Every structure is written in structure tokens, then in C-alpha cells.
Amino acid sequence: MSYLIGLDVGTTGCKVLLINPAGEVIASATEEYPMYTPRPLWAEQNPEDWWRAAQACFRALLAHLRPDQIQGIGLTGQMHGLVLLDKAGQVLRPCIMWNDQRTAAQCYAMTEKVGADRLLRIAGNPALPGFTAPKILWVKEHEPQVYAKTAHVLLPKDYIRYRLTGELATEVSDAAGTILLDVGKRQWSEEILRDLDVPRDWMPAVHESPVITGKVSKAAATATGLREGTPIVGGGGDQAAGAVGSGIVKAGIVSVTVGTSGVVFAHTDNLMVEPQGRLHAFCHAVPGAWHVMGVTLAAGGSLRWFRDTLGHPERAVAELTGVDPYFVLMAEAAKAPAGSEGLLFLPYLSGERTPYPDPNAKGVFCGLTVRHAKPHLVRAVMEGVTYSLRDCVELIKGMGLSIGQVRASGGGARSELWRQILAEVFDVELVTLTSTEGAPYGAALLAGVGTGVYANVPEACENTLHVATLVEPDPQRAQIYEDYYQIYRQMYGTLKPRFDEISKVVERYAV
């Protein structure tokens, strides 16, 4: 039997997943690596750490099969990271990652040079610190000696492609996140590159996501144990590949991922750009398709904050009983009624992105009374995160996209209570799938399309993905959430001036 591999260059580590053509997971391997924060708001990684981790994962996986049984490999990974190579293909500096916040000034400069409306029209997105293009401008300004040696720009997963194949290539879904791509034409924007004075020949070849972009070289075969000549397909950025892994490959089905951050993702058959740029508009990993995406920065991260700061008793119980502390907290939350008896939570613990791209936004509990206890607090956090995700859903609906079903994934989707809250706040049918592997699973399916195992991406999903759980909203609780959501959605506008003032005072007295 032949097998497919998906490799994910994640933020905390590398994961390699092995599936058969029926979509069954045969084996997986993970290897962690560090993230460095040399200054406040900076986030960097060493690309060589990714390559070492990938080698270790491949060798662990090959304990389960022969190298010649691997039909193809798909790549995915963290988006937006900047990897710079010189003419000899050597890494010039650590990768500046997606969560690095150093480029606010460069975002402003980029908007001035290109024009806000023009940037939105061509790239589908405004200039934000997470994207790749402002990072290039930062290096030009602050590290001119590095900029002068630069010959190639790559994204994280594409550096692994380079080490595996020797090819300098990317694919449309990840390239769109650089905001150097013309998302309508699905190729690099000559206009934006010219306005920013970024040489066109620095940019790798752009392919559709299931296309074979190279084959494992002799040197890489020696390093990894893979068979020389094994095909490597384009793959996808982690969100697009994760959407393939959840079957978000046709209109009417939307995914919601409740991880550290929260993501709402919708497939579109035509390029659609939210007029104010409040949703990301990227090329999809499905050839000839696009997607819109909203992001809540602190989704599961809000519950983790609660666990770490206020959940010490629950953590102690979890340690004694061998239960995940999150499930202990959620058992508490289940004791409170829907709506938490008027307690509302704004989950802006890391600022926010959608629908408010505001680094000064703050977390808030509102409506506290002597009646409220810890169950209300925990449930309010879960509900507040879900209201924030609904903000993304409402923007998607406002673009004329219908939502018939929501597919949930991520750590939050493991909770029966959170799935119920999601279904009722969204007031829509919500399902989970038997596959929970997300991006590496989607990358493996893309490898199957590129190597002929499946005819196309929708067929790959149809043949491999199956519903595990289904939740229908309770009408009474859905109405309770509707009433509270209407209050929630007004809170940011009311509090924004205070958020800005708080940030100024904090900065004034910062040590």
C-alpha cells in the first residue's frame, strides 16, 4: 500500500503525519523547537531548528514503513514568517515570526507608499504587523547589512521545501499572507513590489497548492531516510491546509477553530474582500478558490489565562485525579446558566484583530454582582470568546455568504459544553469530524491530489472526512445568547477611548 505524508512547521514544533488513501491516520511524529524573544514584542526562530526537527520526524515515521511506500508529501506551517537567504542559499538571520509585533512603523509606511485602498484591492488585506512584507521593510531599515546580502525570500514551510528539494517555491495560500501577492491574479504583485522597492527575483515561484513543486534530492534523502525522487506538493499555509483537513472546500460550510487563537474560515468561489479589511482575504488551497477569515487573538488563550491565574484549585484537583484541568474548569462552568446571569467578558487579552485591529484593546469582566461565583466567571470567559468569534461570523454573513453548517476543531471543540455554546451563539448546526489533525492532515490530502490518489481537493475530502458529533442549537438558549450578544457587541466601542488612555498611562510608568 502507498501512503501520504503531511508535514507541519508549527509555532512550537514540527509534526509529520502519515495517512493511507482512505484517510486513516497510521502514525505521527512530533519534535519541538524553541522560540526566541530577544526584545519585547519580538518573536524569532532558527530555520535550522525546523530542518533538524523535520529530519527527526521523518526518521521516526519511517520506522513504520519503507521509504518507497510514500507516494507524496504535502507541506504546511505557520504563515507570514520571514526567512532570508543569500545567493548561496544560506540563512542570513533568524526568521521573524507571524506573532512578532515590531513592524508597526513599517505597516504605516507601507500603507502610505501603496495606498490603503489600492493595497486592499490588490492584496486583499491591510498592512498588519503579522504579515511578511512589513518585516522585509524592517530589515531594510534596521539591518541594512543583512538586506544587502539578501537574494531570496521564503516562508517557513517553503524553507523545508528548499532543504528537501533544492527548489525555491511556494504556493498561493501562504504567499497571499505576505501581502505581496495579487490575490485575484494569484501571482506576485509587480505593483506592490515596485512600490516597496523589493526585487522581483527575490520571490520564489508560485504554484497552486496541490501541484508537485519538486522531488526529494539525494542530499535530503540521506538526511531524512526518504526515497530520492519522492514528490513534494505545494501544500498550504496552516489555515488553508487546516480548512482542507476540515472539508471547508465548498460554499455554505464554515470552520471555527478554538485554539490559543480563534479562527473563523469560509470558502469562496470568487475573490471577496471585506470593504474595510476587517476579514483576511486569501487564496485558498483549492485551485481557483479563495477564502475569508476572521481571527480572535485570545480564544483558548483566554481560558488558559483564567486557568493559570484563577484556576489553582482546579489544577490541584486535576493533578490528583489525572483529569485535564480544562475539563475540571468546564465542569464548573456547566453549573452556571446560559448567559452567566448577566456577566459578560471581553476576550481582548492580547489586543484584537477581528473585527477590531486594535493592539490597545483590553480584557474586561462586566456585570459582576455578589451573586456571581467561579462557575459564572469560567462560563463567561467561554461565552465571551464565542461572542468574539460570532463577530467574525457576522462579517462573513454581511458579505452575502450563507452559513449552513459550522465545523469545529481545536482544543475548545473537545468540550461538549463549548460545542453547545458555539452552536447556540451562532444559532446553527455544529459538527466535529473524526479527523482532528487539522493542517498536516490537509497537507497530506493535498499530496494525494498532486500525486493522483484523488482527482481533486473536494473528492479527497469527500473520501476521507466523516462526522463524529453533531450539535443542534436549543432555541431558548439561543435567544438568551442573542440578547446578551447585542449588548456585548456595543461594549468595545464604548470602552475603546478608555483602552487607549490605559495604554498611555501604562507606557508612561513602564519600567
Where are the domains positioned within the chain?
3-246+440-468, 296-433+474-508
CA gap 250, 235 in Å, rounded = 18
Smallest CA-to-CA distance from 383 within 424, 349, 324, 428 is with 424
1 pLDDT exceeds 80?
Answer: no
Half-sphere exposure of 157 (CA within 13 A, CB side): 36
Helix count and strand count (H, E) for the chain? 18, 24
Whether residue 355 is preceded by a cis peptide bond, meaning omega within 30 degrees of 0, is: yes
- 503: which 3 cell numbers? 495604554
pLDDT at 436: 83
pLDDT at 306: 96
pLDDT at 187: 98
CA gap 32, 19 in Å, rounded = 21
The amino acid at 131: F
Q: Are 3-246+440-468 and 296-433+474-508 in the same CATH fold? A: yes
pLDDT tens digit sequence for 275-307? 999 999 999 999 999 999 999 988 999 999 999
User: Per-residue pLDDT averaged across 81-108, rounded?
Assistant: 95
Residues assigned a catalytic role: 238
Predicted TM-score (pTM) of the model is 0.90
350 pLDDT exceeds 90?
Answer: no
332 pLDDT exceeds 90?
Answer: yes
- Which comes out higher in pLDDT, residue 142 or 37? 142
411 pLDDT exceeds 90?
Answer: no
User: Per-residue pLDDT averaged across 225-243, rounded?
Assistant: 96
95 pLDDT exceeds 80?
Answer: yes
Q: Give the rounded percent of residues in the chain with a pLDDT score beyond 70.
A: 100
The CATH number corresponding to 3-246+440-468 among 3.90.25.10, 3.40.1180.10, 3.40.50.1820, 3.30.420.40 equals 3.30.420.40
Instruction: Say if residues 382 and 333 touch (Cβ distance below 8 Å).
Output: yes
Q: Strand pairing partners for 232?
A: 73, 214
CA gap 449, 436 in Å, rounded = 20
pLDDT at 64: 82
92 pLDDT exceeds 80?
Answer: yes
pLDDT at 511: 63
Smallest CA-to-CA distance from 426 within 261, 266, 297 is with 266
Instruction: Say if residues 423 and 471 touch (Cβ distance below 8 Å).
Output: yes
The amino acid at 407: R
510 pLDDT exceeds 80?
Answer: no
Give the burial class of 415: count Cβ atoms within 10 A of its Cβ; 0-12 exposed, 13-18 middle, 19 or more buried: buried
pLDDT tens digit sequence for 235-268? 999 999 999 999 999 988 999 999 888 999 999 9
**Mean pLDDT score of the chain, rounded to an integer?**
95
pLDDT tens digit sequence for 10-38? 988 999 999 999 999 999 999 999 999 99
pLDDT tens digit sequence for 423-472? 999 999 999 998 888 899 999 999 999 999 999 999 999 999 999 999 99
Give the burial class of 101: count Cβ atoms within 10 A of its Cβ; 0-12 exposed, 13-18 middle, 19 or more buried: middle
Query: Is residue 166 very low, low, confident or very high in pLDDT (cuts 50, 70, 90)?
Result: very high
pLDDT at 428: 95
Instruction: Say if residues 361 and 352 touch (Cβ distance below 8 Å).
Output: yes
Give me the residue label for grid cell 491565574: 309
Q: Does domain 296-433+474-508 have CATH number 3.30.420.40?
A: yes
193 pLDDT exceeds 80?
Answer: yes
With H, G, I as helix, E, B as strand and everything else as coil, classify residue 388. Answer: helix
Helices 132-142 and 104-114 meet at what angle, rounded to 10? 110
Smallest CA-to-CA distance from 279 within 385, 364, 173, 395 is with 395
Backbone phi and psi for residue 400, each to the nearest 5 degrees, phi listed first? 90, 10
Q: Strand pairing partners for 262?
A: 258, 296
Give the burial class of 369: count Cβ atoms within 10 A of its Cβ; 0-12 exposed, 13-18 middle, 19 or more buried: exposed
- Expressed in angstroms, the distance from the first to the final Cα of the chain is 61
User: Per-residue pLDDT averaged across 485-502, rounded?
Assistant: 96
pLDDT at 432: 93
Query: Is residue 146 very low, low, confident or very high in pLDDT (cuts 50, 70, 90)?
Result: very high
Give the burial class of 452: count Cβ atoms within 10 A of its Cβ; 0-12 exposed, 13-18 middle, 19 or more buried: exposed
123 pLDDT exceeds 70?
Answer: yes
Sequence-separated (6 or more) residues with CB below 8 Å from residue 117? none
